[in-house]
Structure 1
Amino acid sequence: MLYPMSPKVVELKRKLESFMDRHIYPNEERFYREAEELGPWKVYPVVEELKPLARAKGLWNLFLPESGHGAGLTNLEYAPLCEVMGRTHLAPEVFNCSAPDTGNMEVLERYGTEKDKERWLKPLLAGEIRSCFAMTEPAVASSDATNIESSIVRDGDHYVINGRKWYTTNATDPRCKICIFMGKTDPDNPDRHKQQSMILVPMDTPGIEVKRPLPVFGFYGVPDRASEVVFTNVRVPRENMLLGEGRGFEIAQGRLGPGRIHHCMRLIGLAERTLEKMCRRVRSRVAFGKPVSEQTVTQERIAEARIMIEQARLLTLNAAYAMDTVGNKVAKAEIAMIKVAVPNMACQIIDWAIQAHGGGGTSNDFGLTQAYATARLLRLADGPDEVHRNQIARFELKKYSNA
């Protein structure tokens, strides 16, 4: 194995897989039912019931690489565990390893004051509250984050915030207590990457209105509690500014690097699960006098799926290794490559699995529509394919700038 697992990771993976078999997979149907019946404004009881069990098993905050609060794993060590959790939508939150809380906790760990950590990080690490990240806006093409128009204006000992955000994950969750908000503090700065700042905004601050949940391919709450939120003259103390004015992009790069790789790790697990479903389905169905598994088109797709998963996994492990050894900034090309390759891989495999399931594949009975919604969403979240491809091309062309 090119990237062998340490004994510690092997043991954690064994415990994690055992927990998944015993508690997660048997409760998937209930989870989807609660999400549909209760909607995105409610807490799903099954999640709250399972979280204490996961914590008791030591399967908690596994994502934190440099902290005394988690398992102390590197990105490379976390990768196979994140892949296991990604096999189902239910798992990540049960282990307190779900977005956007993971990224927000890392921001608070790195850039928050001791007061911030006590008030927000501590309950997030305990799974007692949830958080959101307000960056994307409906009025501009947010794929270019310098377009973001929301304002953060200094007023004495406070900042006044105005803006309309959407795809703000978790905002409809009643446990969502803190928002990391990105907006402009210096809109006239000639360096467009120093116009933006990030600031902590408690969700009970006057002037915040969670307008509506946003469906992702018709799903509310699963795979994402996407939300539209309006901020009108929201006042927060000066000390809520993270790192300093004009440093929003600096924080974003530190936050989105791990977030992107976590998404890819989970998607590989989702693709593996999907391939399993596809293989079981085609072995159990007969068409035109023989099992669907013996149709050459089916075999070709299964073979291609296996090749694509293995390629994506190696590319992701390589990115994780680079992040651990040279840092997120130097590993930008590796992170960009997996952010393009892995969601596209997952979309294709899920599409083949839907085809193999026939009409039933388009229903919600097999989990494939939910899986496709997640994979397709991630071709846009944390930067669309086109932005990452352009970045990769620039890195490549730079090698020949003196040719």
Structure 2
Amino acid sequence: MSTFFAISPRVEALKKTLSDFVEFECIPAEAVHHKQLGREGSAERWKSLPSVTEHLKTRAKSLGLWNLFLPSYYPESPGLTNLEYGVLCEIMGRSPIAAEACNCSAPDTGNMEVFAKYGTPAQKQKWLVPLMEGKIRSAFAMTEPAVASSDATNIETRIVRDGNEYVVTGRKWWISGAGDPRCAVYLVMGKNDPDNSNQHKQQSVIIIPADAKGIKIVRPMTVFGYDDAPHGHMEMIFDNVRVPAENMVLGDGRGFEIVQGRLGPGRIHHCMRAIGIAERALEYHLLRITDPKRTAFGKTLSQHGKQSFDIAASRMEIDQARMLVLRAAATMDAKGPKAAMNEIAMAKVIVPAMTLAVIDRAIQSHGAGGVGQDFPLAYMYASVRTLRIADGPDEVHTVQIAKHELKRATALRAHEQKQLGNQKQMLAKL
């Protein structure tokens, strides 16, 4: 991986340390991790925690690779910019267990950012500190099965004030991390002021301990058959769950503000991890087609023209996508998330689609093996396919990009009229 964006010698050193950790400790540990989890679909997968992951966490801490994401507004932040962390995120993306090993995995990173940026001192002490230490995990409950959650104003879960408490009632699904036995807290988005004339001030985010009465885990949702245990993606019910009033985050009606503050950087992190996945898929592709033991019609696969074109296409697409994401990160650093909205939206649409194309070419080069369990390609594909939906589907971001472009039309028309006026003056002088 290379970048034209300047990064400090400190981050270059972190890159080397992190790369060695991922390549020679995390990736070799993946098979152990899956073996310790047990058979896909087994109930035990939701109870047993792979000990190899805890070993990797200890190693990451000792190497100074812990909580690298933590924003600069928190005192214990490592002080990395979005651009610098994005570069490191790509390296972590190369292994499905590396981000957790460094305490940099979703949804915990986004939730820690919420607590760090918007939490009260008491909320930080109770939830942020143990999350930063890796002692607990968390979930963010937003999406609902009964409504089109891509428009968050549709959310129906109710948060009702009752004296010194709030009562939460609703059904959520695809709540990543809620299946983990270490999940101790949910950040839940719901409506507590449904009659507010401003649709974007009807929602709030509230803290609910995972052991609160009235919470029911309905079932784990699978992604193309993968259960992602023990993390999981759960459907769950909040049935008149009562929490103290001090569990409200930031204040009534501030839900959209919180969510937007949470998702902007998170989308960049997802994209950079996806680029790491694409790079690893391309490496599998290269190894497969250059294997001298695998020949077709008297030639290695790489000697057939189609494979060369596929390899070249993957290389070009990865490098194009990386530059777009890094530009979005650099814009966020220079001007803030709001100014980078268009770049973030473009990255969020382009990167998952690019990664899927790269993985698909690698799968094709492996034949039947590409869709089986002997290679990680099928799981990569299933995981990345969700990114075209998670944190806002492609369609929402594409509409945003179009709106941004259409705003330029009035100025362009005036510009064109000036050009035509000058043209007429020039022609009149002939």
> Normalised by the size of structure 2, how large is the TM-score?
0.92
Residue 428 of structure 2: aligned partner: none
1:154-233 correspondence to structure 2 within 5 Å: 154-221=161-228, 225-233=232-240
1:149–1:184 CA contact under 8 A, matched in 2? yes
Query: Kindly tell me: are residues 226 and 72 of structure 1, through their superposed partners in 2, closer, same or farther at Cα, counting changes over 3 Å?
Result: same
Q: Does the residue aligned with 2:211 lie in a helix, a strand or coil?
A: coil
Q: Does the residue aligned with 1:39 lie in a helix, a strand or coil?
A: helix
* Alpha-carbon distance in structure 2 between the residues aligned to 1:22 and 1:377: 28
* Alpha-carbon distance in structure 1 between the residues aligned to 2:331 and 2:230: 29
Equivalent residue letter for 2:83 = L
Max radius of gyration: which structure?
2
Deviation at 1:35, TM superposition (A): 3.5
* Alpha-carbon distance in structure 1 between the residues aligned to 2:178 and 2:305: 47
Q: Does the residue aligned with 1:177 lie in a helix, a strand or coil?
A: strand
Q: Does the residue aligned with 2:181 lie in a helix, a strand or coil?
A: coil
1:216–1:223 CA contact under 8 A, matched in 2? no
Residue 53 of structure 2: aligned partner: 47
Ranges in structure 2 where 5+ consecutive residues have no aligned partner: 414-430
2:150 paired with 1:143: yes
Residue 124 of structure 2: aligned partner: 117
1:332-347 correspondence to structure 2 within 5 Å: 332-347=341-356
1:264–1:316 CA contact under 8 A, matched in 2? yes
Ranges in structure 1 where 5+ consecutive residues have no aligned partner: none
Per-residue CA deviation, residues 7-45 of structure 1 (Å, 9 max, x unaligned), is: 011000111112123311111111223344342444222
Equivalent residue letter for 2:57 = K
Deviation at 1:69, TM superposition (A): 2.5
- Which of the numbers 305, 313, 318 marks the counterpart of 2:314? 305
* Alpha-carbon distance in structure 2 between the residues aligned to 1:76 and 1:31: 30
1:89–1:223 CA contact under 8 A, matched in 2? no
1:20-31 correspondence to structure 2 within 5 Å: 20-31=22-33
Deviation at 1:60, TM superposition (A): 0.3
Equivalent residue letter for 2:49 = V
Equivalent residue letter for 1:111 = Y
1:2-401 correspondence to structure 2 within 5 Å: 2-37=4-39, 38-66=44-72, 67-221=74-228, 225-284=232-291, 285-401=294-410
Equivalent residue letter for 2:93 = G
Equivalent residue letter for 2:151 = D
Query: Kindly tell me: are residues 113 and 382 of structure 1, through their superposed partners in 2, closer, same or farther at Cα, counting changes over 3 Å?
Result: same
1:61–1:96 CA contact under 8 A, matched in 2? yes
Deviation at 1:194, TM superposition (A): 1.0
2:45–2:230 CA contact under 8 A, matched in 1? no
* Alpha-carbon distance in structure 2 between the residues aligned to 1:348 and 1:33: 29
Deviation at 1:217, TM superposition (A): 1.0
* Alpha-carbon distance in structure 2 between the residues aligned to 1:222 and 1:209: 18
Q: Does the residue aligned with 1:234 lie in a helix, a strand or coil?
A: strand
2:179–2:230 CA contact under 8 A, matched in 1? no
Per-residue CA deviation, residues 256-303 of structure 1 (Å, 9 max, x unaligned), is: 001111000100000000000000001112111101011111111110
Query: Kindly tell me: are residues 222 and 368 of structure 1, through their superposed partners in 2, closer, same or farther at Cα, counting changes over 3 Å?
Result: farther
* Alpha-carbon distance in structure 2 between the residues aligned to 1:389 and 1:223: 33
Q: Does the residue aligned with 2:388 lie in a helix, a strand or coil?
A: coil
Q: Which is further off, 367-376 or 12-21?
A: 12-21
Deviation at 1:229, TM superposition (A): 1.2
Per-residue CA deviation, residues 186-205 of structure 1 (Å, 9 max, x unaligned), is: 11122211111101111111
> Normalised by the size of structure 1, how large is the TM-score?
0.98
Query: Kindly tell me: are residues 142 and 223 of structure 1, through their superposed partners in 2, closer, same or farther at Cα, counting changes over 3 Å?
Result: farther
1:42–1:173 CA contact under 8 A, matched in 2? no
Deviation at 1:119, TM superposition (A): 0.5
Q: Which is further off, 26-35 or 291-300?
A: 26-35
Deviation at 1:101, TM superposition (A): 0.2
Give the superposed CA RMSD: 1.3
* Alpha-carbon distance in structure 1 between the residues aligned to 2:120 and 2:50: 32
Per-residue CA deviation, residues 237-265 of structure 1 (Å, 9 max, x unaligned), is: 11111111111011110000011110001
* Alpha-carbon distance in structure 2 between the residues aligned to 1:339 and 1:359: 30
Query: Kindly tell me: are residues 40 and 319 of structure 1, through their superposed partners in 2, closer, same or farther at Cα, counting changes over 3 Å?
Result: farther
* Alpha-carbon distance in structure 2 between the residues aligned to 1:76 and 1:28: 28
Figure out how many residues of one structure are paired with residues of the other and give that number: 403
Equivalent residue letter for 2:393 = P
* Alpha-carbon distance in structure 2 between the residues aligned to 1:301 and 1:267: 19
Deviation at 1:147, TM superposition (A): 0.8
* Alpha-carbon distance in structure 1 between the residues aligned to 2:50 and 2:389: 26
Q: Does the residue aligned with 2:171 lie in a helix, a strand or coil?
A: strand
2:180–2:229 CA contact under 8 A, matched in 1? no
1:134–1:180 CA contact under 8 A, matched in 2? yes
Deviation at 1:76, TM superposition (A): 0.5
Deviation at 1:4, TM superposition (A): 2.1
* Alpha-carbon distance in structure 2 between the residues aligned to 1:195 and 1:31: 43
Equivalent residue letter for 2:369 = G
Deviation at 1:222, TM superposition (A): 5.9
2:176–2:233 CA contact under 8 A, matched in 1? yes
* Alpha-carbon distance in structure 2 between the residues aligned to 1:222 and 1:318: 34
